[in-house]
Amino acid sequence: MNETRHGDTAIWPPVDPVRAGLSGRCPRCGEGRLFKGFLAVGDRCGNCRLDYSFADAGDGPAVFVILIIGFVVVGLALWMEVNHNPPLWLHFMLWIPLTLVLSLAALRALKGLLIVLQYRNKAAEGRLENGSGGEER
């Protein structure tokens, strides 16, 4: 454990958000597991006991995966079609499995990254304020 105590509160050293997010580690300590399944976020860190109830990546990871993996696979398929003109069955045999494997790998990594960045930047749901300085409900 890399924490230092200051009274009753523990101070954790900063964690590299990219390394912690891509490896599925806790955003506070960088050691505990973030996921309890393939994509399901755990309840809390097994190391520092951080409550993961704040974690809500929404549809962001899926959108990034669609855009990035789609760009790569379509680009490669077009290049192969123009340069080698393979039969259609070969396109199916190459690009469908590649798309599935890359998408699943990227989805977990990007979900972890977005959750760690959400924690680090203290991102929360937006709230409207009324004119008197108080929050509307």
Q: Tell me the average pLDDT across 27-33.
A: 93
Burial 52-78 (b: 16+ CB within 10 A, else e): beebebeebbeebbeeebeeebeeebe
Give the per-residue pLDDT at 133. 57
- Name the pTM for this structure: 0.79
C-beta of residue 88 within 8 angstroms of C-beta of residue 80: no
Residue 122 burial (CB count, 10 A): 7
Give the per-residue pLDDT at 56. 85
Q: Which of 17, 103, 102 is nearest to 62 (CA)?
A: 103
For 135, which DSSP code? B
Q: Tell me the average pLDDT across 28-35.
A: 93
Q: Say if residue 8's pLDDT is above 50.
A: no
* Biggest CA-to-CA distance, the chain: 69
**pLDDT digits 0-9 by tens, 95-132:** 999 999 999 999 999 999 999 999 999 887 777 877 66
